Amino acid sequence: MLNLNVGSFIMIFMNLDPRKLCNGTRLCVSKLGANVIQTTILTGSNKGESVFIPRIPLIPSDTPFKFKQLQFPVRLAFAITINKAQGQSLKVPGISQETSCFSHG
């Protein structure tokens, strides 16, 4: 269960609108409703724009039986990986180097 509050930073994990709301878009929660979240875009060319995130049906494909559940396609995003942060301008970045940040590739 995802507990959100106004002011929470979230990230979309699927493409909802290719021009605005793509996988990895960071948002700030403005208002919460039962079936929709009003947010402000924090990154990209649409930065500062207010958008709505609806609950959508998700059907898992890795289970032996089929079921459908309605949920918001978002997760909390107080921390992001170096790969997700590339190309972004962050006012107050913080870095945790508890583990190595380099990988093969």
**pLDDT greater than 80 at residue 75:** yes
- Which residue do the tokens 């106004």 mark? 6
**pLDDT greater than 90 at residue 92:** no
Q: Is residue 51 a contact partner of residue 27, using CB atoms and an 8 Å limit?
A: yes
pTM of the full structure: 0.74
pLDDT score for 97: 78
Measure the CA–CA gap between 89 and 68, rounded to whole angstroms.
Answer: 38
pLDDT in tens, 44-69: 889 999 999 999 988 888 888 888 88
Report which of 17, 24, 40 is spatially closest to residue 88, judged by C-alpha positions.
24
